Structure 1
């Protein structure tokens, strides 16, 4: 197949404008040139991408598939530019860090901010992944370090204690479980849940914990942050599982009740994951030291 980024940009413009002439103008091509390029693109792919109509064009099924992929391609290119920009601007260091949902939404924002203030010449690429994905990426040398809550048997990595935390149940203030000081996970499965989005580490962990008991969660709504979980729970939508450190101490109109979980897996201590700490140098080593010595809130 022979086509280039100009062809893909033209295709996306035509698809979004639903018109060949307007799409061509958007990428600064003559209509005749755009028509020729589109014809060659369809020949290269072996399928028509548009159905021509009297007032414009509409995507075929093949065109819809290509549009999804083309948008992903351009999103990746923009990310590449963002990753490379610090080097062009004189940044002298870069650290690739992956972390699970828990760490990304609780401790890391403040701890990374402190590190970056101390090292203005460094950029950090933080991505959210599940703990197994992070451990494997570190073991393969794809990233500098990670923050995880699970050990993967057989992975050749070193885990260093970072932060101690626990999962707790949050319930509406008037919920039947709200008066308990502690509960078992099995006792909450008959109630609707407010969950973090599918694909997040805690979503996968919670659904697996229910499946281990032969149960399915009744998920009422999925949201994008632990604070949103607490707000939804406080408003009476359902119950939720969140790290204790992620429950806002103030600022909620209807704060949820907090109930301890009597489960061995409720202890979710976070660990910094590296291939070998003694082999680290430069800014990755500095970031590990900074994370391990970051100020702790003892309140």
Structure 2
């Protein structure tokens, strides 16, 4: 018979914190433990499991193969605990529900504000944490069980997730009405890379996507100015600062005067999808959010 392993959720939370911080002291701080206590707990955890989990290095720690396996399972354990707590909240008077949602720039700035407003009005007991990330980052976080729900435009090969249609949209080029490009019905991305661009801020998902698209062509994008919203992109482009690349849905009737030019690229079609790990395993509140997003158009 194998020996029983003796550890608790505090040990697992500490281990995850240390693994993510790659540092024992900073990991201990995250879970409000003294470094000496954290070190002692880690030694007991390794002794209980019967193998080393952390490689002590001069500037921090790294995970052993066993540590990587434990980190993966520990994250799943905490995701399951969050689901359990959410499932029990209907029975606990006054307890609120929470859903973590990650989405790409496109969804965050166009469709989600209205969708989430509708959902939250119907579910006053629920709060949502919304973070903007690139589609691959969203998919992998959902696949690892770190995030309840994602909204993405790209699938990551091999990721074990479920995708449910949300909204159909496409990226277009926008230009000042007196720009030579304004006379064209369509253009390829490579044909406009010698032009200055107005972009969303560095770090936004669409900024990363656009830079990668230029790099794939062996080119560099000249960014004249970076702004914080698609509306600001439209206003800057209308004022003649440069060209822009935005979702068609971001060019509204109230936008400044612009020329909209079709983008002749297969990746310009940006069909957004709701991404979950397993729909039947979602908490009640996360399941309600998915239903609200995917059934209302």
Q: Kindly report the root-mean-square deviation, in angstroms, between the aligned alpha carbons of the 2 structures.
A: 2.0
214, 229, 232: which one aligns with 1:225: 229
**1:266 matched to 2:281:** no
**1:181 matched to 2:185:** yes
Residue 212 of structure 1 corresponds to which residue in structure 2? 216
Residue 97 of structure 1 corresponds to which residue in structure 2? 101
Which one has a bigger Cα radius of gyration?
1
Give the distance between the partners of 1:273 and 1:288, measured in 2 at CA.
Answer: 9
**Residues matched between the structures, number:** 210
Residue 277 of structure 2 corresponds to which residue in structure 1? 275
Residue 60 of structure 2 corresponds to which residue in structure 1? none
Residue 157 of structure 1 corresponds to which residue in structure 2? 161
| C-alpha distance after superposition, 1:135-159 (max 9, x if no partner) | 1111111111100111001111111
1:161 shift after superposition: 1.0
Alignment check: 8 A CA contact 2:231 2:255 kept: no
| C-alpha distance after superposition, 1:208-236 (max 9, x if no partner) | 11111111111100111111000000000
Alignment of 1:1-299 (within 5 A): 90-252=94-256, 255-294=257-296, 296=297
1:190 shift after superposition: 1.1
User: Structure 2: where are the runs of 5+ without partners?
Assistant: 1-24, 30-88
Secondary structure of the residue aligned to 2:252 is coil
Give the distance between the partners of 2:259 and 2:230, measured in 1 at CA.
Answer: 14
1:281 shift after superposition: 3.7
| C-alpha distance after superposition, 1:177-218 (max 9, x if no partner) | 001111111111111000111111111111111111111111
| C-alpha distance after superposition, 1:55-83 (max 9, x if no partner) | xxxxxxxxxxxxxxxxxxxxxxxxxxxxx
1:248 shift after superposition: 2.4
| C-alpha distance after superposition, 1:225-270 (max 9, x if no partner) | 1110000000000001000001121153xx2110001110100110
Report the TM-score, using the length of structure 1 for normalisation.
0.67
User: Structure 1: where are the runs of 5+ without partners?
Assistant: 5-86
Give the distance between the partners of 1:221 and 1:230, measured in 2 at CA.
Answer: 12
Report the TM-score, using the length of structure 2 for normalisation.
0.68
| C-alpha distance after superposition, 1:15-68 (max 9, x if no partner) | xxxxxxxxxxxxxxxxxxxxxxxxxxxxxxxxxxxxxxxxxxxxxxxxxxxxxx
Alignment check: 8 A CA contact 2:152 2:275 kept: yes
Q: Give every structure 1 segment of 4 or more consecutive aligned residues whose post-TM-superposition deviation is greater than 3 Å.
A: none
Alignment check: 8 A CA contact 1:91 1:122 kept: no
Alignment check: 8 A CA contact 2:106 2:206 kept: yes
Secondary structure of the residue aligned to 1:283 is helix
Secondary structure of the residue aligned to 2:182 is coil
